[in-house]
Amino acid sequence: MSSDAEMAIFGEAAAYLRKSEKERIEAQNKPFDAKSSVFVVHPKESFVKGTIQSKETGKVTVKTEGGETLTVKDDQVFPMNPPKYDKIEDMAMMTHLHEPAVLYNLKERYAAWMIYTYSGLFCVTVNPYKWLPVYNPEVVLAYRGKKRQEVPPHIFSISDNAYQFMLTGEWLGESGAGKTVNTKRVIQYFATIASSGEKKKEEKQQSGKMQGTLEDQIISANPLLEAFGNAKTVRNDNSSRFGKFIRIHFGATGKLASADIETYLLEKSRVTFQLKAERSYHIFYQIMSNKKPELIGRKYAIDILGFTPDEKTAIYKLTGAVMHYGNLKFKQKQREEQAEPDGTEVADKAAYLMGLNSADLLKALCYPRVKVGNEYVTKGQTVQQVHNSVGALAKAVYERMFLWMVVRINQQLDTKQPRQYFIGVLDIAGFEIFDFNSLEQLCINFTNEKLQQFFNHHMFVLEQEEYKKEGIEWEFIDFGMDLAACIELIEKPMGIFSILEEECMFPKATDTSFKNKLYDQHLGKSNNFQKPKPAKGKAEAHFSLVHYAGTVDYNISGWLEKNKDPLNETVIGLYQKSSVKALALLFAS
């Protein structure tokens, strides 16, 4: 364990990374009775510390630190670790390793703002929801080239070890746990320690675009993708609403060679719908509130990443058009079900930004042409059908623009330099349990379920291989199987997704018919599929799923429409002929 003098290299971060010598000495000398000191199950606080007063057959009476006297079953009492283990950096070293010991250790470290803790192979992070000075340049240097056991727990230590051994890092956790922040710190670390050594090229290129070094570009990709792919939720002010896998490629000598980004499951429905107290994507609010620092930072990132002036203008125009789509209004014609525009001012603005003729856009929305056999006929639309169509088009434009931006970023990060290794960083939307959970939450939670299964299988197999090497007697357990029942319920034939697809093929299918099929197929047959328990003030739910992270109540309203999300082909035809080249490109195929 490092002395206070040795911790000085971490600068002001030292106090947030490791206990001082004084605190360690005090812990060693703290009085402790191993026989009577325990954690006990508590009805309100999960577990509390206490002292055993008496024992009877199968029952234990405990006096808690708060002065309560509790009599519980003997399996609800857990032995406490000696004080020398307080705020321990690797919980695998505890004498007694159980749930309350783990929770209290994390809680007490968190109270001292020590947000990183090891548990064997894993690094556990607790989001501080405030800025801590643990990512400063001197901290990067302090972790460089150090073995894990030589320095306090930190994401930089995990990163450096991955860099040394060219392993793959992977982040798991619920929404708001801090996965995205740690992903950015990993990228910052690699960009610092493995910089290619190129001089910054800030002069204007012949194409008119300003470019930075490769490490600048890798770091700049994050603020740009966050502006268009992150949003404020009830759990997190900067929640990733898409998944990303970032490969950072290195040459034979360990210098940065290139990078690429894969994205998954952008929550495009957030463009048109958000839960109460949540927001849409950051970019809309940055534009509407004229947030100068964010806008300037994003403009700088776009320049560093080599987007041309025309491409930058197109991104702003299409984002603005999507915002105007939300203000389009339609009304019902007198004595008809047919929809007609309720004013043209908003449509004029949206059409101008998209390089379209306003009259053509409104006509295509209200009277789309559809193919019947070998002929095209004009089809009337109700107000609701037009609103659905506008929403689907807004989501499609936004999603395709986002994916195109990722393609352009990857083109810029592909340097064609020789590459021999890569380190992968996976950052996906975390597990979500809200008051109201819809199809988006099911997709996110299913992805987390699959990832957790892979993680459990892969990491615990590695852990158990270590036991074999050390000659420890151990009966092999495949922890990945724990999640199989829930995963199969969602993805197997006649599972939830399969029934949803089937219902979308029937013109007269409804939310009710979908729910009835789910109940007929799964209620009472699968322990993971349950009927939701109604409660006062609770949002309406139609079924509950028992996930690894908890039971989630889902509301199926609108799932059929979300899954189909049909696009108005007549409007798509207008997009393909748009004078805004980027829009035409997005819908070329």
Bridge partners, residue 116, by sequence: 125
**Dihedral, CA atoms, 371, 372, 378, 382, nearest 10 degrees?**
-100
Q: Please give the single-letter amino acid code of residue 410.
A: N
DSSP state of 383: H
Q: Is 416 annotated as a binding residue?
A: no
Provide the 3-class DSSP secondary structure of residue 232.
coil
| CA distances in angstroms from 10 to 25, 176, 249, 340, 414, listed in the order given | 21, 27, 28, 66, 35
Q: Is 540 annotated as a binding residue?
A: no
End-to-end C-alpha distance for the chain, whole angstroms: 61
Catalytic positions: 175-176, 180, 236, 239-240, 430, 432
DSSP state of 174: B
Which of these, 383, 381, 385, 403, lies nearest to 393 by C-alpha position? Answer: 385
**CA-to-CA distance for 100 and 103, rounded, in angstroms?**
5
**Dihedral, CA atoms, 219, 223, 225, 230, nearest 10 degrees?**
140
Which of these, 18, 55, 370, 418, lies nearest to 255 by C-alpha position? Answer: 418
Backbone angles phi, psi at 212, to 5 degrees: -105, -170
Q: Is 177 annotated as a binding residue?
A: yes
Q: Is 173 annotated as a binding residue?
A: yes
Report yes or no: 465 and 474 within 8 Å, Cβ to Cβ: no
**CA-to-CA distance for 222 and 229, rounded, in angstroms?**
10
3-state SS of the chain: helix, strand, coil percent to 5?
Answer: 45, 15, 35
**CA-to-CA distance for 46 and 357, rounded, in angstroms?**
63
Residue 454, H or E segment:
helix 439-469
Structure tokens at 67: 């002065």
Q: Is 512 annotated as a binding residue?
A: no
Structure tokens at 572: 């798509």
Q: Is 579 annotated as a binding residue?
A: no
Q: Please give the single-letter amino acid code of residue 156.
A: F
Q: Is 57 annotated as a binding residue?
A: no
Q: Is 168 annotated as a binding residue?
A: no
User: Binding site for ATP: which residues?
Assistant: 173-180
User: Binding site: which residues?
Assistant: 173-180
